[in-house]
A and B are shown apart, each in its own frame.
Chain A
């Protein structure tokens, strides 16, 4: 076996340029595959985290009927019970009670349907990142009455600026139409344009004064980490069984679904890359077998059995992959390490990214298990690539070695 391996190793360097080309294509293919996977994971994770940070949080609690038609009459009964439960749970980092209403926002030139979120500014600061996404103004620090935070996209649509006056119209709990004048104290921008266009924040105190009610419709809570979400969710679901408790996967199933789709999609990308690579390897090995048919015929003639000839070609094929694959993986890991720190700035397509809830800078990342997965894939695909040239070698007639003198 040692000599066969030695022959195989030396054989692949008989035509160094060809071997370098095929190894190079393996390196580039695997590097590209890893990078695409890391980029896609990073992109998806960013979208999920951005959604959690700016709107949905980790877990939400509602009245069981609230989400059927988002009617404000379905407020949270006995909020103190919820508060006590949340305060005693160690996995919960912060929570905020919110009042929710659907209504219309009107400027002197235009109106738009919006989701009105009444918040406690200090509590909300600990749960969502709206305060850090202000592009103009301040986070309810204005001394003026009825301050409101609106998204940049909505401000553009309504043609309003900081300190502009706008009117909110909505129904109170008795279905009476209520209107209130508000003044823009801040303009925020998240990574999701549609969210910015359809969501506004006012203070609970202002909202409750208008609707003459001190009730809340939602509790948004943030766990210490993503890993804490599942146990907290299950615990709260049991403890607060009179309420509707939902985790981020249930609130926004498209985010969780994207994770699953992404795995299948990335697996397919890797399979396509590997398929393209095996055609290159098969082509190279077929050329090698064709060029060396006399030599291989001679080996069979002098007594090298077919399993050893098969092993020789198999070993040569594996050498090509074994040189290329680790180099590709190393290059991929290096690229991810560098870009995961600095991020990849895609400002050039920033608008498009923000329309689907993504920021301009993507931070690629990949799980370590993926490298193991690639190694297994390379092994399997190399084996497949080796079979056809090896079979060709086995079909050679030893008489060819003598006839083609």
Chain B
């Protein structure tokens, strides 16, 4: 099943009257259960593409369809609601809520979805156990290592049962051990639970794990390799 589909997706930034095409007519299709890495040099348009797919940025031209729904025509509030229900985000800087514990961070997104307290408790604990943080439920982000924080971020992204997870450079701030643990965990989720992951990355370790690697340069796909 096709989860993500972009058609002639284009983003043009205007800088001092000079137009820069960050993303240039990209046609892309991601199937459910894929483990895809978007790679390319800095400024190639990876993050812009991810932002548009995640509904965080609007396109200049073209469209994005998520699970058959064209999100390009949604209003800002509709997009927020759409993201809440359909997309999980993992950021490079983890971006956990510092005043909440690991469990509360995972619960928070379910709270926004309106799930009951019992459901939130059960699911958040199960997810944190799944990412190997059973003993860190009540720890705040500043009591966790970078790798542990990123695992909480993954658990949070999965908590809303999204159609797919967008991860922008998720391993950029992690040491090799934490990177390896995180990637193994995400690969296992992908294999066992068919969770769809879409990464943007520079990290060769992520690229090595990915089953599909899309290379972007100057806003265009120059290579789309399946393994």
Co-assembled chains A and B:
yes
- Rounded to whole angstroms, the CA-CA distance of A220 and B169 in the bound complex is 91
Q: Is the CB of B104 within 8 A of A302?
A: no
Among residues 43 to 83 in chain B, which have CB atoms less than 8 Å away from a CB atom of chain A?
A: 47, 50-51, 54, 56-57, 76-77, 80-81, 83
11 residue pairs from A and B, CB less than 8 Å apart: A3-B104, A294-B93, A294-B95, A302-B156, A303-B81, A303-B85, A303-B109, A306-B77, A401-B95, A402-B56, A402-B92
Q: A9 CB to closest chain B CB, in angstroms?
A: 9
Q: Does A14 contact B (CB under 8 A)?
A: yes
Report how many residues on chain B are interfacial, defined by Cβ distance under 8 Å.
34
Interface string of B161-184 (1 = CB under 8 A from A): 000000011001000000000000
Report how many residues on chain A are interfacial, defined by Cβ distance under 8 Å.
26
Instruction: Note all chain B residues with C-beta closer than 8 A to A303.
Output: 80-81, 83-85, 109, 112-113, 160
- Rounded to whole angstroms, the CA-CA distance of A218 and B21 in the bound complex is 97
Instruction: Note all chain B residues with C-beta closer than 8 A to A402.
Output: 47, 50-51, 56, 89, 91-92, 168
- Rounded to whole angstroms, the CA-CA distance of A300 and B89 in the bound complex is 11
Q: Interface residues, chain A, CB within 8 Å of chain B?
A: 3, 6-7, 10-11, 14, 294-295, 298-306, 308, 397-399, 401-405
Q: Is the CB of B89 within 8 A of A10?
A: no
- Rounded to whole angstroms, the CA-CA distance of A404 and B51 in the bound complex is 13
- Rounded to whole angstroms, the CA-CA distance of A300 and B83 in the bound complex is 9
Instruction: Note all chain B residues with C-beta closer than 8 A to A405.
Output: 91-93, 168-169, 172
Q: A344 CB to closest chain B CB, in angstroms?
A: 45
Interface string of B101-124 (1 = CB under 8 A from A): 000100111011100000000000
Q: Does B97 contact A (CB under 8 A)?
A: yes
Q: Is the CB of A399 within 8 A of B57?
A: yes
- Rounded to whole angstroms, the CA-CA distance of A11 and B100 in the bound complex is 10
- Rounded to whole angstroms, the CA-CA distance of A305 and B95 in the bound complex is 17
- Rounded to whole angstroms, the CA-CA distance of A299 and B84 in the bound complex is 10
Q: Is the CB of B83 within 8 A of A302?
A: yes
Instruction: Note all chain A residues with C-beta closer than 8 A to B108.
Output: 3
Q: Is the interface of A mostly helix, strand, loop or mixed?
A: helix
Q: Does B98 contact A (CB under 8 A)?
A: yes
CB-contact partner of B84 in A7, A294, A295, A302, under 8 A: A302
Among residues 121 to 179 in chain B, which have CB atoms less than 8 Å away from a CB atom of chain A?
A: 156, 160, 168-169, 172
Further contacts, 11 of them, CB under 8 A, given A295-B95, A305-B77 = A7-B99, A301-B54, A301-B89, A305-B81, A402-B47, A402-B89, A404-B93, A405-B91, A405-B93, A405-B169, A405-B172
Q: B56 CB to closest chain A CB, in angstroms?
A: 5
Among residues 196 to 222 in chain B, which have CB atoms less than 8 Å away from a CB atom of chain A?
A: none
Instruction: Note all chain B residues with C-beta closer than 8 A to A399.
Output: 51, 56-57
- Rounded to whole angstroms, the CA-CA distance of A2 and B50 in the bound complex is 33
Instruction: Note all chain A residues with C-beta closer than 8 A to B77.
Output: 305-306
CB-contact partner of A14 in B89, B98, B111, under 8 A: B98
Q: Which residue of B lies closest to A11 (CB)?
A: B99
Instruction: Note all chain A residues with C-beta closer than 8 A to B160.
Output: 302-303
Instruction: Note all chain A residues with C-beta closer than 8 A to B81.
Output: 303, 305
**8 closest residue pairs by CB, A with B:** A303-B84, A10-B99, A405-B92, A298-B95, A399-B56, A303-B83, A398-B56, A305-B80
- Rounded to whole angstroms, the CA-CA distance of A3 and B103 in the bound complex is 13
Instruction: Note all chain A residues with C-beta closer than 8 A to B104.
Output: 3
Q: A307 CB to closest chain B CB, in angstroms?
A: 9
- Rounded to whole angstroms, the CA-CA distance of A404 and B54 in the bound complex is 16
Q: A135 CB to closest chain B CB, in angstroms?
A: 67
Given that A3-B108, A7-B97 are contacting pairs, would A302 and B56 also be in contact in the complex, using a CB cutoff of 8 Å?
Answer: no
- Rounded to whole angstroms, the CA-CA distance of A381 and B189 in the bound complex is 51
CB-contact partner of A302 in B92, B109, B168, under 8 A: B109
Q: Is the CB of A3 within 8 A of B111?
A: yes
Instruction: Note all chain B residues with C-beta closer than 8 A to A14.
Output: 98-99
Q: B170 CB to closest chain A CB, in angstroms?
A: 10
Instruction: Note all chain B residues with C-beta closer than 8 A to A295.
Output: 95, 97-98
Q: A3 CB to closest chain B CB, in angstroms?
A: 5
Q: A378 CB to closest chain B CB, in angstroms?
A: 25
Q: Is the CB of B83 within 8 A of A301?
A: yes
